[in-house]
Amino acid sequence: MKLIRDPIHGYIELDGKITKIVSSPYFQRLRLIKQNAMAYLVYPGMNHTRFEHCLGVMNLSREFAKYALANNKTRLRDDIIQLSAIAGLLHDVGHVAFSHTFENGLILAKEVYGIDIDERKKKTHVDYGIRIIKEGLSNELDDLSSTFDTVSFLDDVLSEKPKSEEETFTSLLISNYVDADRSDYLLRDSYYAGVEYGMFDVERLKRFLVFLDGDKIAIHKKAMPIVEQFLLARMYMFENVYFHSVVGMYNAVLSHAIAEMIKKEIISPPDKIEDFLKFTDFYLLSKLDQVKEEFKDALLYRTGFKRVKVDITGNCLNEFSSRKTEIKEDMESTGGLFIYHEFEDVPYEETGRPLYIFDGEKVETLKAASTIIRSLSEIRKAIIAYHKKAENVANKYIKILQECKTLGP
């Protein structure tokens, strides 16, 4: 038994089999990938990495699974606890340098700079992860369960195509509106940012999870306020941290720098399994010397770029959306010195797999049960950022923004 000291969950216990996975280079490299890309330029404490996040998710997946099994009679076997732990551990193993910001760089490379590239948007790290599991970790994942084939179990769960009740169970625990992944990142990101937005009572939450009908995760009604708090907490973290306009600006600058690196063939997206090891934050930072100096100055010394202080919302958002092509052309022609960046998050909706509230007898969906949750709406906004060299271009859009604002929200 190995103990790792974690500021969020205390001592995280690793048994021999999990230690073996954690010790592989494919997992160790996560120490070199920041959880929140450039957020540390606004919240200086946010230097934490995917490594500790993944350990935390492992820990919570194991806890969630234990309580969900104990809270009702299921036919599920006990080794689903260990499998859930491993699914939690590996859910992000496919992230490369700067996580989602790299994915965004791929999108820009394709959509703005027209480079022929294989990108799957938010799915990129999932695809990468499944490849790492299959090609890089099969030794470590051998022997883990007498009942299941671990690799195909993880493949089904991480690609969100569960094929059995057990896979559904694990999938719901690590990838859902309220899950082990989000639980960990809300607590962890709050801790390192030094804010209280993302705090919620995970000790209570986990004790009230119930697995129903072989395909539903419900929370006992007694803990419904925690679920509300959780979804609100997440929304506040988006508004104040992840979608903070300065955080967003620097992430967008980094994405454009990455796109430039791809365009100039300074880097190419990881292809073979060994490439993943190379794709760390420091690898990309060390390439900044070879792209526009303005990007380097912005990302290393926080200088040169400005954002327009008014966010683009409501009416203006539509106005800007109608100019997508024009905007792309302007980003391309300025090589990313003018930036238009959209943020979008849906706090909760019931089109996919809803959350359920269970009072011991009756089951209803979360929206049916909670007025507050019904009041939550999608977060959607955009920002304009620019280097002073692209002031002219920016001014054109600032004028558009002023005009659409006068027309009301």
- In the complex, which residues of this chain contact a copy of itself (CB under 8 A)? 3-8, 10-11, 23, 25, 28-29, 31-32, 40-41, 43-45, 47-49, 51-52, 55, 191-197, 199-201, 203-204, 207, 225, 228-229, 232, 236, 239-240, 277, 280-283, 285-286, 297, 300-303, 371-372, 374-377
Q: What minimum distance in Å lies between the beta carbon of 28 and a copy of itself?
A: 4
Q: What minimum distance in Å lies between the beta carbon of 69 and a copy of itself?
A: 15
Contacts of 119 (CB under 8 A, 6+ apart): 103, 106, 107, 109, 110, 269
Residue 54 or 65: which CB sits closer to a copy of itself? Answer: 54
In angstroms, the CA 73 to CA 71 distance is 7
Are residues 238 and 273 in contact, defined by beta-carbon separation less than 8 angstroms?
A: no
Q: What minimum distance in Å lies between the beta carbon of 193 and a copy of itself?
A: 6
Residue 163 or 278: which CB sits closer to a copy of itself? Answer: 278
In angstroms, the CA 19 to CA 13 distance is 9
Residue 292: alpha-carbon gap to chain centroid: 28
Q: What minimum distance in Å lies between the beta carbon of 244 and a copy of itself?
A: 11
Residue 202 or 218: which CB sits closer to a copy of itself? Answer: 202
Helix (H, G, I), strand (E, B) or coil at 238: helix
Q: What minimum distance in Å lies between the beta carbon of 98 and a copy of itself?
A: 12
Residue 285 or 317: which CB sits closer to a copy of itself? Answer: 285
Residue 286 or 321: which CB sits closer to a copy of itself? Answer: 286
Residue 143 or 372: which CB sits closer to a copy of itself? Answer: 372
Q: What minimum distance in Å lies between the beta carbon of 398 and a copy of itself?
A: 17
Q: What minimum distance in Å lies between the beta carbon of 375 and a copy of itself?
A: 3
Are residues 270 and 120 in contact, defined by beta-carbon separation less than 8 angstroms?
A: no
Taking alpha carbons only, the member of 51, 92, 52, 83 closest to residue 65 is: 83
Alpha-carbon torsion, ordered 167, 171, 173, 178, to 10 deg? -150
Phi, psi of 97 (to 5 degrees): -35, 125
Q: Burial code of 145-162, b = ≥16 C-beta within 10 A, e = fewer? A: beebebbebbbbbbeeeb
Residue 191 or 328: which CB sits closer to a copy of itself? Answer: 191
